[in-house]
Structures are given as C-alpha cells and as structure tokens.
Structure 1
Amino acid sequence: MDSIELFTGAGGLALGTHLAGFHHRGLMEWNDDACDTLRRNAKVNALPGISDWRVHQADVRLLSFDIFGPVDLVAGGPPCQPFSLGGKHRAQDDSRNMFPEFVRAVRELRPRAFILENVKGLLRQSFSNYFEYIKLQLEYPSVTKKRDEEWTDHRNRLEDVKTRGRPQALKYNVISELLNAADYGVPQTRERVFIVGFRADTGLEWHFPEPTHSMDALKWDQFVTGDYWKRHRLRAPRTKPISLGVKLSDLEKGAPLKTKPWRTVRDAIADLPEPIEGRDAKEFTNHRLNVGARAYPGHTGSPIDLPSKTLKAGVHGVPGGENMLAYPDGTVRYLTVREAARVQTFPDTWRFEGSWSEAMRQLGNAVPVELAAVVANSVAAKLKASDEH
C-alpha cells in the first residue's frame, strides 16, 4: 500500500506507518536538520525498507500533490504551535496553520484513508469551533473555501452540506480521539489528538484501538507485587507514594488487571550505559551527557520510575525541565538524545542530526513511533481486509 507523509519532522509518524506496511512515495518537510535526519537514515537504511525514501524539502503550500500518483494513505502532523498549550494559541490566525494543506492533499490524492495527529491543545474550548471546522473540511474536502471567504462562512456552508445529506463526489467518514501514548506501551505520558478518516465509498467500519497498558497495572507491579523492582534488581522503596491516583487497597481487592503496566523511563533506558560528557557511547549514537541541568519550580524533570513527562520542542528553545531525568535521591540530569529517542520509541539505529537542542526539538515535535504504529496497523488491517475481499 502506498502513502505520502506531510510535515514529516524526524520521522516518528512516518516510521509508524512504514512498520504498518505502508510504502512512502514521498516525505515532505522543510526544516534543514529534520531533513538531514531523514536523508541520513534513508541513506544507511537505518530500518529495513526505507532506503528508497524520497525527502522533499519544500514549503508544502508550493507543492502539487498530483506528482505522487495514487496513494492509499495520506498521513501527517501539521505544525502544532498554533494550537499547542505551550504556544501562542493563535490557531487559525497563525501563519503556521497547515491544516488547509493537509485537506488539499486529501482532496488532490483521494486516498482510501488518512491519519492526522496533533497536540491536545487542539481540544481547548477556545478552539472548539475551529476543530469542528477541520473535521468538516476532511469530511467534505471537495467543498473548498472561496477566495476571501471567512473560515466561519466556509464552516457554515460545510454544515449545510452535512445536514442536507446529499451524496458528494468525495466524502470521508471521520472520527477523532485523544490518545495517551503511555496507554499503548510508550514510556511517556504524551496525549495526542488523532483524526482518522476512510473514504466513504470503501464502506469500511473502524474504531480506535483499545489501550493495552495502564497506570493501575504499574502501581500493582511496583507496590503490590513488587515485581517491578525485582525486574530491575532494585530494593523497593521503604515508603509508598502518598498519591497514586488509585488506592492500593482498591487494587488489591480488584479483579486481575487485563492491561500491562505503563512503561517507565527506567524500563526504556536501563540497558544504556551511563552517558559521558563530550563523547557518544561506543555502541549508541546520540548518547552523550549534556551538563548544566538544574531543577526549579515548574521544571523538575521526569521521575525515572514513572513514564516520562511529555517531551516538548518549545517556542523559544527546548524547555529543559521537560527533558530532564529525576532520580529518587533528588538529583537531576538532562536526558541524552538517545534516551529521549527511547522515550519516543525510535529505534536505536535512528540517528538525529544537528546540535543537542535541535535534536531534542525534533524529538519534542515527533509522534512516538510505537503509538503511530498502533494506529497505522489498525488502519492497514482494515484496508488489507478490504483488498482480500
């Protein structure tokens, strides 16, 4: 199955869809370092089957998507800063708002399905009308915005089309959901909005995959059975945390948990050597110590025995607090790029180009590979089943 990837960044979503069996006919990205990362990894075939990836470094507003031919999937994560909780919250008034370009790709290529992801901030109450407008455009991509038409007027026309119920030349069945990456085995509490659509004439039914991991299961593993500490050959803490989000007594009385434990930072990085300042570890690229980390109110780092806090790219530089590791004794240090890549579930063979701050920015903007793969695998399974019939 063929696909294209918009706003590829360092390749998190692209890797997830690749692992699900999609073949990328083109990857679009404009950032120099992100493009260098993509090209370098394609050149050395960092993951089997990506040596033919073609990176198009360009402003997508200047591209005609017709050059990529028919595809089964359009995927991408438009720049999140217009909607991010850490951004300026300008939404549709932000020049970086690229949702219209994603809609245009769907309109021009008419894929059987699309996967779009973005930040939780898209669901802010102040953006609710625009979020519904985005979904309406994706449902009816051929009902285009007129020159000089206000987006609110275009939204009203789309609502008229939807309520009228007449068949359209191009229509998609669209659903959206907020997913927490930790609930799907990613060692990070990262919430992302996914919007998935199937072309209406495919007649396919689909729903988001059910969570496979939970915080309750982690607390059971750590403070009921103690298996977590045994697995890491550590002595269990003498005192149990005051706030667990759930009472241990309730866990102990409950039915056996059907989910796996949330994965922690320690789970993700336990087999990595301790990083050294000034040079990478022999066996691992991008694994060197960046000194100078310090904790202060609001920037306390991620406790090593919990999933990482959400890694962020930042508006005015990489926010250090979200990219620090906090040990039980109160000390902190910066995550190495390789450790952050583990937290984002990139393979160890994936090398990031640019300085530490630029590599961390790429990671802060990325979709966790394993979360992307969970969604993409579910979409691919539906498309493959349709082909077989």
Structure 2
Amino acid sequence: MRLPFVQRDKDATWEDHNEILEKLIANDSVELSERYEVKEMEVNAADYGVPQIRNRVIIVAFRADLGVDWEEFIPKETHSEESVIHSMREGGPYWTERHKKVPADVRKRVIANLPELDYENEKTKAKLELKPWLTLRDAIAGIDENEGKPLPYVTEAAVKDKLPVGDIADHIGWPGARTYAGHTPNVLDRPAKTVKAGVHGVPGGESVMQLDDVNFVNAGGGNGYRYMTVRETARVMTFPDRWILDGPRGEKMRQLGNAVPVKLGAAFSKAVADALKSVGALEDPGKRK
C-alpha cells in the first residue's frame, strides 16, 4: 500500500517483492509523489454516534508529497460510555427526555446494574464532556434522520406469522429466536452487539434482543426476547428508513453485517475530504493523481 506504483516482477514470489519494497522504504529512495503514508486506527463505532459496539481498524493512506497533518486529520470521538452511564442515573436525561415511557421496574433494574464512575478522574471528566453513547433503545426510538419516528411495536402475532409491522419496509416479525450460553441477546439500554453477516447469511445471537416484557411469547423459542427485525438492524447500522434492502431476510442481514455503519463511514470520509482540502488537493487536479 505504501508503494503502489512499484510493479512486482512476473517471476518474483510475494516474499521477493516484499523484500524489494522494504529496502526501497528503508532507503527512502522513491519519489514522494509515488509513495503513500499509511496509518491504521483502532475505532469503536459507538464512539462516533453509532448505536452499536463495533470495533474495527480503519486504514487511511495519503500521498506522501501532500504533507497532510495526521494529528489534524484523525476524527475526534464524539460519544462516550461514561456519558451514557451518567445520563442513566436516577432522574437523568436518558429517562426524563429520551425514554419517559420505560416501565419503572425496567428503569430500576438498569440503574441498579450501572457501573460506578470515578468523577475525580481526569479521563472520566473528559469523557463526560462528550455525548452519551446511543443505545439499541435509542435506535428503535429513532435517531438522526429517523429522529421522532419510533418503529412500531412488534407483536407476538407478528413474530409467529412473520407479519410486517406498520408501513416501514423490512420491519417484519421473525420466529424461533434462541438464547443459551455463548448466544446471549442484545439489551435495550446499551449499544447493540456487533452486527455480523453470520454463516451463509443466517443471523446469529447478535440478532436477538431482550425485551422489557418478560412474558412476551417468542414463537418457537422462549419468552421475553425475539429476533430483531431487518429494519431494527438497519437502524443499528445507522441506515435511514428510506434505505431499502433486497433479497430474503438472511441476505438482507448478510448485507448489513458486511456494511460499514453509515455514521462511521461519514466521519472518516469527511475527515479525508477536510484533510485534502487543507492541502489544496481537491482544488489542484495535479495533486489528485
């Protein structure tokens, strides 16, 4: 990636070619305009406003002669776990502003299980300045373009008979969810687990969600949980409701699992564009080659 213009000889093994590349890099003998500076960054999508724990490595490369300031480029985190924990304390805005209708017993259980925060710690103080992590409950209630547009409640009948719920595409009940050791469900008041493509497109445990109603009958499974709908999963990936997927349920879930969360992609795409603007690469066609 650092030397994309150095062609591999047709008779050379990749090991031979790699040795050549390493020597060129060590000797600093390739023109700046023909090599790239590459950075790898570990990110958690939840830190950028995605209602999902999704740890990934983002790889970004700029041509070396552009002189991009890497410290200025790297997108700053906008959300934090500490902030959402604080907002969930008794009387906090998570309950008084976002989710006023959550049953009292559910709210009490969530609050009782919150970890303690060290409010004197400087790192904690800095994290509390950020916005709260968004949760699965937030996604279902509606965020960003879907703000104020909660998804209709999925009934037991809809789960049993695979019925569409409301007039929103891909919001269809699905029976047979299971939970067991190593196959635990998402909880509503935390970012969702990583959406995965699954084996041959079949959703795994990450597609199951624990419900407020412990008596909810999940047809073909147990009580108190069900499969997430495709639309709920799309919201966890921060796709707007106007985004329509194609194919059967398993294929749609595979597409979502293989995608990059929209908000995470947007954060880094904007950062790349801003970095190129800062060095005039978007205005000067010669710098874009």
Structure 2: distance between partners of 1:223 and 1:282: 33
User: One-letter code of the match for 1:186?
Assistant: V
Matched length: 249
3-state SS of 1:139 partner: coil
Query: Is 1:147 the equivalent of 2:10?
Result: yes
Name the structure 2 match of 1:289: 173
Could you say if the C-alpha distance between residues 251 and 318 of structure 1 is closer, same or farther in structure 2, counting changes exceeding 3 Å?
Answer: farther
8 Å Cα contact 1:216-1:251 kept in structure 2: no
Max radius of gyration: which structure?
2
Deviation of 1:241 after TM superposition, in Å, equals 4.7
User: One-letter code of the match for 2:35?
Assistant: K
8 Å Cα contact 1:320-1:334 kept in structure 2: no
Structure 2: distance between partners of 1:225 and 1:211: 26
One of 139, 152, 164 as aligned partner of 1:273: 152
Structure 2: distance between partners of 1:184 and 1:239: 23
Structure 1: distance between partners of 2:45 and 2:110: 28
Residues 247-286 of structure 1, C-alpha deviations (whole Å, 9 max, x = no match)? 23x1377647111110000000021002334333343101
Residues 263-314 of structure 1, C-alpha deviations (whole Å, 9 max, x = no match)? 0000000210023343333431011011111111111111111000001112
Query: Is 1:262 the equivalent of 2:130?
Result: no
3-state SS of 2:169 partner: coil
Matches within 5 A, 1:81-96: none
Deviation of 1:174 after TM superposition, in Å, equals 1.1
Structure 2: distance between partners of 1:179 and 1:238: 30
Structure 2: distance between partners of 1:216 and 1:373: 24
Name the structure 2 match of 1:339: 232
User: One-letter code of the match for 1:220?
Assistant: H
> Which structure is higher in strand share?
1
Deviation of 1:201 after TM superposition, in Å, equals 2.7
3-state SS of 2:137 partner: helix
Name the structure 2 match of 1:14: none
8 Å Cα contact 1:224-1:252 kept in structure 2: no
8 Å Cα contact 1:140-1:171 kept in structure 2: yes
Name the structure 1 match of 2:93: 227
Name the structure 1 match of 2:199: 315
- Structure 2: gaps spanning 5 or more residues: 142-149, 215-222, 285-289
8 Å Cα contact 2:110-2:189 kept in structure 1: no
Aligned residues with identical type, % of pairs: 45
Structure 2: distance between partners of 1:225 and 1:155: 59
- Which 10-residue stretch deviates more, 261-270 or 227-236? 227-236
8 Å Cα contact 2:83-2:132 kept in structure 1: yes
Name the structure 1 match of 2:77: 211
3-state SS of 2:119 partner: helix
Matches within 5 A, 1:88-237: 138-168=1-31, 170-206=34-70, 207-223=73-89, 225-230=91-96, 231-233=98-100, 234=102, 235=104, 236-237=107-108
Name the structure 1 match of 2:146: none
3-state SS of 1:285 partner: coil
User: One-letter code of the match for 2:181?
Assistant: P
Name the structure 2 match of 1:382: 275
Structure 2: distance between partners of 1:265 and 1:238: 17
Deviation of 1:331 after TM superposition, in Å, equals 1.8
Deviation of 1:382 after TM superposition, in Å, equals 2.1
Could you say if the C-alpha distance between residues 242 and 150 of structure 1 is closer, same or farther in structure 2, counting changes exceeding 3 Å?
Answer: farther
3-state SS of 2:253 partner: helix
Could you say if the C-alpha distance between residues 381 and 323 of structure 1 is closer, same or farther in structure 2, counting changes exceeding 3 Å?
Answer: same
One of 251, 256, 269 as aligned partner of 1:358: 251
- Normalised to the residue count of structure 1, the TM-score between the two structures is 0.60
Structure 1: distance between partners of 2:7 and 2:58: 23
Question: What's the C-alpha RMSD, in Å, of the aligned pairs?
Answer: 2.2
Deviation of 1:325 after TM superposition, in Å, equals 1.0
User: One-letter code of the match for 1:149?
Assistant: A
User: One-letter code of the match for 1:295?
Assistant: T
- Normalised to the residue count of structure 2, the TM-score between the two structures is 0.79
8 Å Cα contact 1:313-1:361 kept in structure 2: yes
8 Å Cα contact 2:203-2:253 kept in structure 1: no
